[in-house]
Amino acid sequence: MTIYNDKKQWINTLAMSLSGLKEQNGKTDHRMTYLTSLGYITGKIAKTAELVGETEEEVLASIAEQLPNGVDPFNVNTALYKLSQKQSLETGATLENNDTYIILEDVRVTPVSNSKFTFTADKMAIFVDQIIAVLPGTMDLKEQ
């Protein structure tokens, strides 16, 4: 059973469209801004290396193969999460209200409560059900 999240697919398609249009115009900044109840989150959708495996042992072997090149914790978590979902479905469980996520890189978060402060991170996972709106590109808040 494949879980399809229309909201995540729409956001990812918008990001790919933005990326393609900017590359045609010679621009390389593919950031998008996500409005959440916390504030504005700006970042690029991260490129992730796919860790493969049908069993926990195979996933762990895949991690071991990539260790010399560096393994991203988000990639490991994604692989183990997908494996856990697969195992749950095999036991007859159903996945309702499946919270999906988007991994962002080069992240800046500006809280709504105090837009004078921002924090940055190399990578961050944002849960799709927390996204209220998406803006292609970046935005800056200015005090009026």
Average pLDDT over residues 88-114: 80
Which residues are 44's β-sheet partners?
105
**Domain range for 24:** 6-136
C-alpha span between 87 and 89 (Å, rounded): 5
> What is residue 91's predicted lDDT score, i.e. its pLDDT?
82
Domain annotation covers residue 48: yes
> What is residue 75's predicted lDDT score, i.e. its pLDDT?
77
Domain annotation covers residue 68: yes
Domain annotation covers residue 113: yes
The DSSP H or E segment spanning 141 is none
Q: Which string of DSSP letters, residue by residue, matches 57-91?
A: HHHHHHHHHHGGG---HHHHHHHHHHHHHHHHHHT
Q: How confident is the model at residue 22 (pLDDT cuts 50, 70, 90)?
A: low
Q: Give the angle subtended at the CA of 119 by the CAs of 27 and 99, to the nearest 5°.
A: 85
Structure tokens at 135: 């803006």
User: 40-66: string of b/e by CB count within 10 Å (b at 16+)?
Assistant: bbbbbbbeeeebebeeeeebeebbeee
Domain annotation covers residue 144: no
Domain annotation covers residue 75: yes
- Domain count across the chain: 1
Q: How confident is the model at residue 130 (pLDDT cuts 50, 70, 90)?
A: confident
> What are the tens digits of pLDDT across the range 30-52?
788 999 998 999 998 887 767 67
Domain annotation covers residue 141: no
> What is residue 116's predicted lDDT score, i.e. its pLDDT?
80
> What is residue 1's predicted lDDT score, i.e. its pLDDT?
45
> What are the tens digits of pLDDT across the range 51-80?
677 777 887 888 788 777 777 787 777 777
C-alpha span between 19 and 34 (Å, rounded): 16
Contact (CB, 8 A) for 94 and 115: no
* Domain CATH code at residue 101: 2.30.30.100
Domain annotation covers residue 23: yes
C-alpha span between 42 and 107 (Å, rounded): 6
Domain annotation covers residue 90: yes
